[in-house]
Amino acid sequence: MRLARLAILLALAALPSAAQAESAYTDLDLSSCDVLERYEDGGAVMRCQGYGGIDVVVSEGDARMDVDYGAPSGAFETFFAFNGVGETIEWMLDGEGAPYAAALRFHIDNDGNLAAQALVVSKIGTADAPGCVVGVVDAAADQANGVARGLGALAPAFDCTTDKVAIVPGASELVAGFGGANNN
C-alpha cells in the first residue's frame, strides 16, 4: 500500500503544472485570530479565517503547534521537536473551486535554532468527519511543493480513522519525527 502511494505521489509530481489542480492562498496571521481557549501553561486554541470562510483551528501547547481545517479533529498532530507555523496556507481546489486539502509550512526548531522546515498537507474536515494530516514533505526536498500537491490529491480518499500519515522518504530526522493520529 505504501509503495503504491509513493508511486502515485511521484507520478503526480511529474505532471505538467497545467494538469494539476488549482490552488488559492491565504495568510495565516495568528495575531488576528480569535482565542477560543487559553491554558495555564501559556498554550492556546485559536480560530482563524481561512479560504471561503473555512475555519483554521490552531492549537499551541508546549511550544508545538497543530492545525486543523474546517473542524477540530481532537488529535494533536505535530512534530516531536519544538515548532511553529508559517504565514501562508495553500488551499488545493477541486474543479468547482471547493477546497479539499491545505498545505502549511512548519518551522522545526532544535535547541532554539531553526533546523528544518516541512510542508504539512491536511485533509479539510467537517463537524461530522474531522480532517487530519495526510502527509509531510521535507521542504528541502527536490520538488517539495509538487510532492505536497500530490499528497493533497490523495486527501479526498484518505481515511482519517485508519490511514497512516505519509512521511515522504528522504526526510530529515526532525521532519520524520511527526506524530500523526494513526502513527503513534
Asked, for residue 168, whether it belongs to a domain, the answer is yes
Where helices occur in the chain by DSSP H, the ranges are 2-14, 144-154, 173-176
Q: Rounded to the nearest 5 degrees, what angle is found at the Cα of 4, between the Cα atoms of 12 and 135?
A: 65
Residue with cell 501559556: 42
Task: Print the domain residue range for 95.
Answer: 2-29+72-179
Q: Rounded to the nearest 5 degrees, what angle is found at the Cα of 103, between the Cα atoms of 62 and 57?
A: 50
pLDDT tens, residue by residue, 115-126 = 899 999 999 999
Give the mean pLDDT of the chain: 88
Asked, for residue 59, whether it belongs to a domain, the answer is no
User: Domain total for the chain?
Assistant: 1
Asked, for residue 144, whether it belongs to a domain, the answer is yes
Asked, for residue 52, whether it belongs to a domain, the answer is no
Asked, for residue 50, whether it belongs to a domain, the answer is no
Q: Closest Cα to residue 106, out of 87, 126, 128?
A: 87
pTM for the model stands at 0.88
pLDDT tens, residue by residue, 138-166 = 999 999 999 999 999 999 999 999 999 99
104 or 13, which is more confident: 104
What's the pLDDT score for residue 40?
87
* pLDDT at position 87 over 60: yes
pLDDT tens, residue by residue, 29-49 = 999 999 999 998 889 999 999
What's the pLDDT score for residue 41?
82
Asked, for residue 67, whether it belongs to a domain, the answer is no
Assigned C-alpha cell, 145: 511543493
What's the pLDDT score for residue 16?
40
Asked, for residue 76, whether it belongs to a domain, the answer is yes
Judge contact between 100 and 131, C-beta under 8 A.
no
Asked, for residue 124, whether it belongs to a domain, the answer is yes
